[in-house]
């Protein structure tokens, strides 16, 4: 199969919202009046971000999901994507499943694949995504204000727990693994939440590297600190059952790959956020507050600070 047959068969779909999609030297895209483009790329490398024998359907899903998550964290509505892909060979069974996983998620979010690049090489997947947001409503990392409440969507640490199981660092039974594996293999980007947070949240980030690391980026960009209540963190029943044993707490605080949103909003918006949670059928949990200073303190139920140094991302990895 030639490169062009491959592109036509697996990566060419109708792109009604683009002026020009796959097949020319570049795509042509018209941004809606009053909006600016939010643009982001995320690369998934075999051996680093996924196992070489990963299920191709789920890999197609995740390749796009991690990019949609960046749009969500910006409050942007994802519209178009490009896909640069290096493949060791033209394995049609693999391509069939990969593209099915990719387009199933793309269709759900009405995102159109408008171009890309295809080359032979070690498996490597890079999506660039283009979304639209009113410039003044983009959810920048730098917007957190002292007194804001800190919130997080969904639950924390399930993806890291599933990964720890696969790496033999913890033992889950089949039911437990089945409960947390979707967080690792098929994360659900919080696009609808990102849109709902426009004009409500001051600041947002998606949790790809763990709560502490990603919240830390937000805090330094905003020149503020945070105080979190460990007992308030949204933790699934499976992770809760393993919390007292390493790497349980590390999963919750520093586990990557969750793709939930962490955001801050004025306390006056608290009730509104609970309404958004109900409307989206997505748990939103108030986990702490923004304070003057820098860095993050996590305290336990008794109010004593946890030693989060030993729970840090680098050590965990």
Which CB atom, from 15 or from 208, has the smaller least distance to ligand ADP?
A: 15
CB of 189 to ligand ADP, least distance (A): 20
Tell whether residue 117 is a contact of Mg ion (CB under 5 A): yes
Tell whether residue 92 is a contact of ligand ADP (CB under 6 A): no
Tell whether residue 25 is a contact of ligand ADP (CB under 6 A): yes
The string of DSSP letters for 267-299 reads GGGHHHHHHHHHHHT--EEEEEEEESSSEEEEE
Which CB atom, from 117 or from 275, has the smaller least distance to Mg ion?
A: 117
CA distance 113 to 76: 17
Q: Which does 199 bind (CB under 5 to 8 A by kind): Mg ion, ligand ADP, none?
A: none
DSSP SS3 for 185 = helix
Contacts with 56 (C-beta within 8 Å, 6 or more apart), sequence order: 94, 95, 97, 98, 101
Which CB atom, from 117 or from 300, has the smaller least distance to Mg ion?
A: 117
CB of 11 to Mg ion, least distance (A): 12
Applying CB under 5 A, what is the total number of residues that bind Mg ion?
Answer: 1
Residue tagged 């949204």 (tokens): 234
Which CB atom, from 116 or from 182, has the smaller least distance to Mg ion?
A: 116
What phi, psi does 112 have (nearest 5°)? -110, 135
CA distance 36 to 33: 8
Tell whether residue 116 is a contact of ligand ADP (CB under 6 A): yes
The string of DSSP letters for 212-263 reads HHHHHHHHHHHT-EEEEEGGGS---HHHHHTTTSTTHHHHHHH------EEE
Q: Where does this chain touch ligand ADP (CB under 6 A) — which range of 21-29, 48-56, 171-179, 251-259?
A: 21-29
CB of 26 to ligand ADP, least distance (A): 7
Tell whether residue 122 is a contact of ligand ADP (CB under 6 A): no
CB of 317 to ligand ADP, least distance (A): 30
Q: What DSSP state is assigned to residue 38? A: E
- Contact positions toward Mg ion, by CB under 5 A? 117
């Amino acid at each position: 199969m030639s490169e062009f047959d491959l592109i036509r068969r697996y990566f060419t779909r109708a792109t009604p919202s683009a002026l020009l999609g796959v097949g020319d030297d570049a795509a042509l895209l018209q941004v809606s009046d009053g909006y600016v483009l939010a643009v982001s790329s995320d690369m998934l490398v075999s051996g680093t971000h996924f196992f070489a024998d990963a299920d191709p359907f789920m890999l197609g899903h995740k390749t796009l999901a991690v990019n949609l998550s960046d749009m969500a964290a910006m409050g942007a509505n994802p519209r178009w994507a490009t896909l640069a892909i290096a493949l060791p060979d033209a394995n049609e069974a693999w391509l069939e499943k990969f593209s099915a996983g990719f387009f199933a998620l793309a269709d759900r979010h009405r995102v159109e694949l408008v171009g890309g690049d295809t080359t032979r090489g070690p498996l490597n997947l890079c999506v660039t995504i283009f979304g639209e947001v009113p410039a003044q409503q983009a959810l920048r990392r730098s917007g957190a204000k002292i007194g804001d409440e800190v919130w997080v969507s969904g639950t924390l640490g399930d993806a890291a727990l599933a990964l720890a199981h696969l790496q033999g660092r913890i033992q889950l039974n089949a039911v437990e693994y089945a409960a947390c594996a979707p967080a690792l293999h098929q994360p659900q980007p919080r696009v609808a939440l990102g849109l709902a947070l426009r004009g409500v949240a001051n600041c947002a980030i998606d949790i790809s590297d763990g709560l502490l690391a990603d919240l830390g980026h937000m805090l330094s960009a905003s020149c503020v600190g945070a105080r979190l209540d460990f007992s308030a963190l949204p933790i699934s029943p499976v992770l809760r059952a393993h919390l007292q044993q390493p790497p349980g707490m590390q999963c919750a605080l520093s586990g990557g790959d969750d793709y939930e949103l962490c955001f801050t909003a004025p306390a006056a918006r608290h009730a509104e956020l609970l309404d958004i949670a109900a409307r989206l059928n997505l748990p939103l949990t108030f986990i702490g507050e923004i304070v003057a200073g820098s860095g993050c303190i996590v305290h336990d139920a008794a109010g004593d600070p946890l030693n989060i140094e030993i729970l840090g991302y680098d050590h965990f990895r």
